[in-house]
Structure 1
Amino acid sequence: MSQPWLCPTVLLCIYGFFCSYRPLEPFLTPFLMGPDKNLTEKMVVNEIYPFWTYSYLVLLFPVFLATDYLRYKPVLIVQAASFIVTYVLLVKVRSVPSMQLLEFFFGLATATEVAYYSYIYSVVEPSHYQKVTGLCRSVTLLGSAVGSLTGQILVSVGQVRLFYLSVITLVSSCVAFVAPWFLPMPSKSLFFHQIEGSSQDEATHEPMNSSPLISTLEDSESNRQLGADKRTGLKKRTSSAGLLEVLKMLWADFLQCYSSSTLLTWSVWWALSTCGYLQVINYAQALWEKILPSTNSEIYNGYVETISTLLGALAAFVVSFVKVSWAVWGELALCIFSGVIAVCVYLMVTIKNIWVCYTSYVLFRATYMLLITIATFQIAANLSMKRYALVFGVNTFIALLLQTLLTVIVVDSAGLGLDIFLQFFIYASYFTAVAAIFFIAWLYKIVKRRRSGDQTDSGLNVLASTEVDTVVSKDMRHVTEA
């Protein structure tokens, strides 16, 4: 019995693994500041890294539309090519402008991840969505963890220069480049190329990430995925929608989605926390390098990234067994765990010990992955597949917009260009503010429910009093008649 979903799924898994297999990634900052590139901390942190944030923000929405219009496969090829250009530049160039160009191409590669997470839903039947999503996302997670572990083993055990890790990462990207060419071209897409006779909002979404282990990839993961509507009674002929029609449809769906207070609450946390999360993971290596320079001591960044990734996946898996009424305790949970994240970042910057810093980072990532999993389920619980895609896209865009503002003000040399320690102190304060916001939201909900309860009790009392008066009146009438 043929299984048409198997071939594209295998190709996507191969592509996802080799794209995520980056042995150099945990050592990128030491590599740039080391003898191979000889860049200063100010160049790397304040002049080069911000370009990834800017390019990602600028490209996200155009790529979102282009991905759907071009039907995914061409954008996957562009992503694969962008990774190759990124790592060719990383191997070859040394100047700051060239490194900024590198960050632009990496931003393009990051923005086009949407094609990877949406392609499969255009060529696979709805009955296989969960299976293929689990395979693709798990393989991507595995590639990231194995890449980090490989890099650490080569550095610690094999005493391999970081330059060769960049070459291995480039080779892995070249291997990944081959797979997308063999993928079948989809005949339909989410917005522009739709199946005639389908109902846009007919199907109710069952969470694609029904396994929390899969949901942990919402990290930069985190965010950046699309679905496709489950449709019934589909015809084989497709129709094309114009750009204006698509934009009107997106705007109408946007207004309807965010009119839900529950969805709005979790989306606000998603955007605020993802902004801070991206800042911390982007600049954590610079902080570690400042605390323990790699030129003087052996570093263990690869082990830390591997452990934090797997522990985050485990934490997200465990949360599926916890029975909590998130409608009641959601804001309080967001407050408490945001406070935990703030403490972790605060410890990283105040106790300048590398092992405390490593441990805090692991706990930081695990906590974020746990919460982002809960947020994923809460947001996606009652959304159609199309709106599921829209909401997560909007949340990611807002997170990037906030991150860009934070980067311009705090990091970029055109702004304050603060020292890395001051930056992390600001990030800790930022998460403290997030915790305070949701504590206030929780108090507001409690007060609102008590007032609503008092009004309900008052109404019941009035009703009961009316019923008693009616009964007494009837009794008195009977006595009078007697």
Structure 2
Amino acid sequence: MGCWKTVRDKEWVYPTLILCTYGFFATMKPAEPFLTPYLVGPDKNFTIEQVTNQLFPIWTYSFLALLIPVFLFTDYLKYKPIIIIQGVALVINYVLLLFANGMAAMQYLQFNNGLVSATEVAYYSYIYSVVDAEHYQRVTSYCRSVTLTAYTVGSAMAQLLVSLEAVSYFYLNAISLGTVSVALVTSFALPMPRQSTFFQNSAKSSNETIKSNASNGCLSLRGKTQGSSTNPVFPERKQLALDNSLRTNEGKAFATAILQLWSDFKTCYSSRNLLYWSFWWAIATCGYYQIFNYVQVLWDHVAPSKNSSIYNGGVEAFTTLTGAITSFGVGYIKLDWAVWGELVLGIFSGVSSAAIFIMDNTDNIWVCYAGYMVFKASYMLLITLTTFHIASNLCMERYALMFGVNNCMALILQTILTIIVVDSRGLGLDIVTQFLIYGSLYSLITGIFLLRSLYTFIDYKLKNTRRNLEEDVTIITLDPLTQQTCTNTRL
């Protein structure tokens, strides 16, 4: 028994190691911080307006369109096939960046990049289907920290190579193609999960019941006389009926899982407190996606890459590291988040808004870089706080559902914002005006949550006052023997 327990305890090591290896090479893409300079440079020769208004919006539309189908199929297909699809899509991206030219090819690349983003859910969900619950905290920290490390390493390496003029942007893409190819090969070594979270569990338990009934002769088959126990059952007919029953049952299990998801959705958003926190999540994440996607365009506007040295890679590396440290520090802050959390959301959203306005109104690239660092660190702090607060109030399955819904809402809002503000078929605003709108969005969030925190604080004080009055209330009664008043204090 001791040996078997030791083997069971070590079963989590192999899939975690393979998944972390995949995550490292899939995220370590040195070309990513220099995508905009590459597209507007001599290799692709697009204008900054084409990149901003015709290429980048496609990623938003693709991500939104694919998110929900990918979410459902990820669980139904048990994760590994979706991770492999993500690896294939990453390889296609860098093949296109290296060898394809023209607007149509780059637009398809942006669509494909939306698929890469949508399939990230498989990477972050896979590990929970192959390890025991006692290892969840450890494997989660490994999988998330390795992607932050990989992005930092890739960005720092890119900056070093560019600053030393050792390679061109083209060869950064070639290196990135090599790393994502390693990730694709690694994905095939992942063990296939035995079960999924929503669909396969329901189907499995019901199918086992059907198989058990079939083996005991409890399955009603055509060709067997009703009520008769003496007529023989042909093996091929019995197997055919069993297969049909299993297929029917799997369909019912799928429908049952959808109904359960809907029930959990209503339960999650019936809490007013979680509804406000989810509102912040959706709006702030929408703004974060927009700024992350278009900040390279702003940097190129402030300091054109054709005329000056750029330090996008170094900034991304340092910012990611700062964000990781900030997020890590949330676990050591001792506050009553139910009372003070909304005030923290309001204050740091204001910091983010100020940073965006500074980025938008400066002609100094270093000030612009510094503003981005402050913005991203603030967002990482708040999104970690938000996920922690929501997760502490929900079971794991409902948290996963709320995580998906909040991100989906963020994407819907981002799509609306992109259509109106960015897309050439909408207003097609210049990058300076766009960032003015993003800063105003965070100002709106700041105002809402400062007012909300004031309401929460007043409500908290009133409840405390009422509770104290109830504890100290004096009850005056008439003593029936002496006909005198008797005073009692209820503690």
TM bin, normalised by shorter chain, reads 0.7 to 0.9
TM superposition shift of 1:158: 3.6
Give the aligned residue type for 2:172.
Answer: L
Q: Which residue of 1 aligns with 2:238?
A: none
Shift of 1:349: 0.5
- Provide the TM-score with structure 2 as the length reference: 0.85
Q: Does 1:43 align with 2:54?
A: no
Equivalence for 1:224: none
State the partner residue of 1:140: 147
Task: Give the corresponding residue for 2:227.
Answer: none
Aligned to 1:189: 196
Measure how far apart 1:197 and its partner are.
6.6
1:288 aligns with 2:295: no
User: Larger C-alpha radius of gyration, 1 or 2?
Assistant: 2
> How many Å separate the matches in 2 of 1:360 and 1:194?
47
Which residue among 414, 418, 422 is the counterpart of 1:407?
A: 418
Aligned residues: 436
What is aligned with 1:397? 408
Task: Give the 5 Å matches for 1:189-208.
Answer: 189-194=196-201
Q: Which structure 2 residue ranges, 5 or more long, are not aligned? A: 1-5, 207-248, 487-491
Deviation, 1:324, is: 1.1
Q: Render the CA deviation track for 1:417-463: whole Å, top value 9, x for unaligned.
A: 000000001100010001111112122223434555566677678x5
Whole-angstrom CA distance in 2 between matches of 1:154 and 1:194: 49
| 1:137–1:450 distance in 2 versus 1, CA, 3 Å | closer
- In 1: Cα distance, 2:303 partner to 2:83 partner: 38
Q: CA deviation digits over 1:96-121, x for unaligned, max 9?
A: 22111101111001101111111111
Amino acid at match of 2:267: Q
What's the CA shift for 1:22?
A: 0.6
Counterpart residue number, 2:85: 78
Alpha-carbon distance in 1 for matches of 2:409, 2:191: 33
1:33 and 2:44 matched: no
Check whether the contact 2:40–2:48 (CA below 8 A) recurs between aligned residues: yes
1:150 aligns with 2:127: no
| Matched position secondary structure for 1:182 | coil
Give the CA deviation at 1:472: 6.7
How many Å separate the matches in 1 of 2:127 and 2:481?
71
Please name the residue that 2:337 is paired with: 326
Matching of residue 24 in structure 1 with residue 31 in structure 2: yes
2:117 is the counterpart of 1:110? yes
Q: 1:308 to 1:113 in 2, by over 3 A?
A: same
* Counterpart residue type for residue 96 of structure 2: L
Specify the SS of the correspondent of 1:321: coil
Equivalent AA in structure 2 for residue 94 of structure 1:
N
Give the match for residue 420 of structure 1.
431
Q: 2:127 aligns with which of 120, 129, 133?
A: 120
Q: 1:133 to 1:451 in 2, by over 3 A?
A: closer
Of residues 261, 266, 271, the one that matches 2:272 is 261
Rounded Cα–Cα distance in structure 2 between residues aligned with 1:448 and 1:385: 30
Distance 1:474 1:326 in 2: 53
How far does residue 86 in structure 1 lie from its aligned partner after superposition?
Answer: 1.2
1:279 to 274, 286, 290: 290
Matched, 1:64 2:47: no
Q: Which one of 361, 374, 395 corresponds to residue 385 of structure 2?
A: 374
Report the aligned-residue RMSD: 2.1
Query: Superposed, which structure 2 residues align to 1:174-253 within 5 Å?
Result: 174-194=181-201, 240=250, 242-253=253-264
The alpha-carbon distance between structure 1 residues 306 and 444, as it changes in their structure 2 partners (threshold 3 A), is same
CA contact (8 A) 2:25 2:150 kept: yes
Q: For 1:49, what is the secondary structure of its paired residue?
A: helix
Q: Which 10-residue stretch deviates more, 445-454 or 41-50?
A: 445-454
Q: Aligned residue for 1:444?
A: 455
Preserved contact between residue 94 and residue 177 of structure 2 (Cα < 8 Å): yes
Distance 2:31 2:254 in 1: 40
The corresponding residue for 2:318 is 307
Change (3 A) 1:397 1:457: same
Which residue in 1 is equivalent to 2:359?
A: 348
- CA 1:320 to 1:477, structure 2 compared with 1: closer, same or farther past 3 Å? closer
Farther off after superposition, 147-156 or 441-450: 441-450
Counterpart of 1:20, as a letter, is T
The separation in 2 between residues aligned to 1:13 and 1:370, in whole angstroms, is 24
My pick for the range that moved more, 424-433 or 440-449, is: 440-449
Q: Does 1:52 align with 2:63?
A: no
Structure 1 stretches lacking a partner, 5+ long: 199-238
Q: Deviations over 1:145-174 (max 9, x none)?
A: 111011111100143110110111111111
Deviations 1:162-202 (A, max 9, x none): 0110111111111110011111111210111016679xxxx
Aligned to 2:101: 94
